[in-house]
């Protein structure tokens, strides 16, 4: 059986390289869906929305040509074909009947609407906080917390291909919300991911053999923040995974590549892990796994070389995964220590005159 990764590699190999085709600006996705399963149409539509694709006519979608866009379309193509549908990915310099500038403006308009929706939610949160403050009541945030809004902002930014207006206003509103919120134990627990439900504890997590950067880092994240008693096993695809296991970094599973996210980023979003040291690790994992240089992580090359060495040194997958998890634990501790040193130190309050006299 050919794995999904191999399928994607074959398709990309047939396509000319990005460097040789700088003029090819667009990727077109043309598909035809079967009548069953009944939910396939909604699933495909949601996926296209998640990756930021723009519809130009019925069943024809477009993205700016990039390596991550190709991978997104390849995963969707494989999913459609797995249920008996048809899909094609085409590269084009121009789109018939549409000026490039018009298409770019359509992308910008779509993201501006996304930013506007997020801004309205942030404004509503601020209004509630101000009203509670004037009445003298302690405000308890309702709806999504600030960190959830930030994650949604990050998701919009990932598909904002042409720097659309509206982002700065959302950032300013979220900063204001942070200033008005008082940290609580409940919020901290949710934001660091330690509040994961019992359904994800003491489970068997299954991924593909010969783990690489995304699988190593994801396994570390699972055991560090989600399931401290997690056990790990390997299977070629989700169909071969044990019945009650939780598959990750496989095609067509909940915890896998999603939109422009690698599996590590998907897990962070799913479990609300907003630890700043984890964010730095995520940038490295993303750049190494997707090879798009999105975050420009300076440590990526070194970490990639270390992982290559681990794969050469360890033939046993379980030992390889353990060593990789140890590598990411060390990396996380370094980043966490650096974050502590960057935090502003609290200034001790001077003792009151009355207390000094009482002595």
Mean pLDDT on 146-172: 84
Bond preceding residue 37 cis, omega within 30 of 0: yes
Mean pLDDT on 233-260: 92
Does residue 143 or residue 313 have the better pLDDT? 313
Average pLDDT for the chain? 80
Q: What is the largest CA-CA distance in the chain?
A: 86
The band of 5, judged by pLDDT with boundaries at 50, 70 and 90, is: very low
Query: Distance (Å, rounded) from C-alpha 121 to C-alpha 108?
Result: 20
Q: Answer whether 264's CB lies under 8 Å from 328's CB.
A: no
pLDDT of residue 247: 96
Measured distance between the N- and C-terminal CA atoms of the chain, rounded to whole angstroms: 82
Q: Answer whether 73's CB lies under 8 Å from 50's CB.
A: no
Q: Length of the chain in residues, anyone? A: 359
The single residue listed with the structure tokens 């809004």 is 149
Q: Is 184 left (phi over 0), alpha (psi -120 to 50) or beta?
A: beta
Query: Distance (Å, rounded) from C-alpha 192 to C-alpha 189?
Result: 6
Count of C-beta atoms within a 10 Å radius of residue 111: 21
Count of C-beta atoms within a 10 Å radius of residue 304: 17
pLDDT of residue 135: 56
134's tokens = 């004037």
In this structure, of 107-116, 124-133, 246-255, the range with the lowest mean pLDDT score is 124-133
Query: Distance (Å, rounded) from C-alpha 154 to C-alpha 50?
Result: 12
**Where exactly are the structural domains of the chain?**
4-97, 101-182, 198-342
60 has which bridge partners? Answer: 30, 57
pLDDT in tens, 50-63: 999 999 888 899 99
Q: Is the pLDDT of residue 191 over 80?
A: no
pLDDT of residue 98: 67
In this structure, of 71-85, 147-161, 229-243, 249-263, the range with the lowest mean pLDDT score is 147-161
Query: Model's pTM, two decimal places?
Result: 0.47
The single residue listed with the structure tokens 């627990």 is 189
CATH 3.30.70.240 fits 4-97, yes or no: yes
Percent of the chain at pLDDT above 90? 50
CA dihedral defined by 313, 314, 319, 320, rounded to 10 degrees?
80
pLDDT of residue 183: 38
């Amino acid at each position: 059986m050919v794995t999904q990764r191999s399928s994607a590699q074959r398709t990309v190999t047939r396509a000319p390289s990005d460097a040789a085709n700088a003029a090819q600006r667009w990727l077109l996705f043309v598909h035809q869906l079967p009548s069953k399963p009944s939910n396939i149409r909604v699933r495909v539509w949601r996926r296209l929305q998640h990756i930021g694709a723009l519809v130009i006519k019925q069943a024809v979608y477009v993205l700016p040509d990039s390596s991550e866009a190709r991978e997104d379309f390849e995963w969707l193509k494989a999913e459609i074909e797995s249920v008996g549908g048809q899909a094609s990915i085409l590269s084009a310099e121009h789109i018939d009947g549409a000026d490039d500038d018009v298409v770019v403006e359509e992308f910008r308009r779509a993201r501006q609407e996304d930013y506007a929706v997020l801004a309205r939610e942030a404004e509503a949160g601020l209004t509630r906080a101000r009203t509670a403050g004037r009445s003298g009541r302690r405000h308890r945030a309702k709806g999504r917390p600030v960190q959830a809004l930030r994650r949604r902002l990050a998701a919009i930014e990932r598909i904002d291909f042409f720097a659309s207006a509206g982002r700065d206003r959302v950032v300013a509103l979220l900063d204001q919300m942070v200033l008005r919120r008082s940290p609580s134990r409940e919020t901290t627990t949710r934001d660091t991911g330690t509040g994961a439900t019992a359904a994800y504890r003491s489970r068997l997590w299954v991924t593909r053999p010969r783990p690489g950067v995304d699988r190593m880092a994801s396994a570390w994240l699972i055991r560090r923040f989600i399931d401290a008693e997690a056990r790990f096993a390997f299977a070629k695809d989700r169909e071969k995974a044990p019945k009650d296991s939780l598959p990750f970094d496989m095609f067509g599973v909940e915890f896998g590549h999603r939109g422009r996210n690698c599996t590590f980023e998907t897990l962070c979003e799913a479990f609300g892990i907003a630890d700043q040291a984890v964010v730095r690790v995520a940038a490295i994992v993303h750049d190494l796994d997707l090879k798009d240089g999105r975050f420009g992580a300076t440590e990526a090359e070194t970490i990639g070389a270390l992982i290559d060495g681990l794969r050469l040194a360890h033939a046993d997958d379980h030992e390889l995964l353990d060593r990789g998890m140890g590598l990411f634990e060390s990396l996380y501790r370094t980043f966490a220590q650096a974050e502590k040193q960057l935090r502003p130190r609290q200034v001790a309050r001077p003792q009151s005159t009355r207390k000094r006299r009482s002595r």
